[in-house]
A and B are shown apart, each in its own frame.
Chain A
Amino acid sequence: EDQVTQSPEALRLQEGESSSLNCSYTVSGLRGLFWYRQDPGKGPEFLFTLYSAGEEKEKERLKATLTKKESFLHITAPKPEDSATYLCAVQDNRNQAGTALIFGKGTTLSVSS
């Protein structure tokens, strides 16, 4: 069964204190791994797609990396506006349910000034 586990559940950082969020996954065949940002009461906002081990993508203070078993979202010198829940999701290329996204529970990041 496809599974996504994110850790930690919650993370508190001081402004400028860099850290990483982890996403471990189990799928029959990885079609893609996705990172989303979600603010309270709103829909997820697309950040990155990663397709193969070794791939990296960057956007402002965020950098996503992928291995065969996990992905990391590195946050460099975070600011209070980076506070949100970060969701990781995978697509299984052998999934009969279309291109369903299978989500983890998310990591809630709080950045204080």
Chain B
Amino acid sequence: ETGVTQSPTHLIKTRGQQVTLRCSSQSGHNTVSWYQQALGQGPQFIFQYYREEENGRGNFPPRFSGLQFPNYSSELNVNALELDDSALYLCASSLGPPGDEQFFGPGTRLTVL
């Protein structure tokens, strides 16, 4: 059984740029959730996708957008990067209908300069 994978591991961008982060779900899982974790904080929910449809969204601006593909992999896109977007971005997969236990990937560390 393959776990959740994310790419890239680390990324450095400058203010105003755009970034795409990628996530492959655990085998058999059809729901993906994205979280942002600032240093010293707990993860904060960005949004969730179930069978390619957005299934819920947290308190993040529209410049945070996502996609889920037919193979249940997912992308997180962030436009017009701000310094405060520097964080660890975590992807979690679960078995739907949106399941309870979410299994996390290793994360992508984004630094915005």
Contact = CB atoms under 8 A, between A and B. Distances in A.
Interface of A: 4, 31-32, 34, 36, 41-46, 49, 87, 89, 91, 95-106
Interface of B: 4, 6, 31, 33, 35, 40-45, 47-48, 50, 55-58, 88, 90, 92, 94, 98-107, 109
Interface SS of chain B: helix, strand, loop or mixed? strand
Contacts of A95: 56
A25 to B, nearest CB: 12
B58 A97 contact: yes
Contacts of A45: 104
Contact of A105 (B41, B58, B101, B105): B41
21 contacts: A41-B109, A42-B107, A43-B4, A43-B90, A43-B105, A43-B107, A44-B90, A46-B101, A46-B103, A46-B104, A87-B42, A87-B43, A97-B48, A97-B57, A99-B31, A99-B33, A99-B94, A100-B58, A101-B33, A101-B92, A101-B102
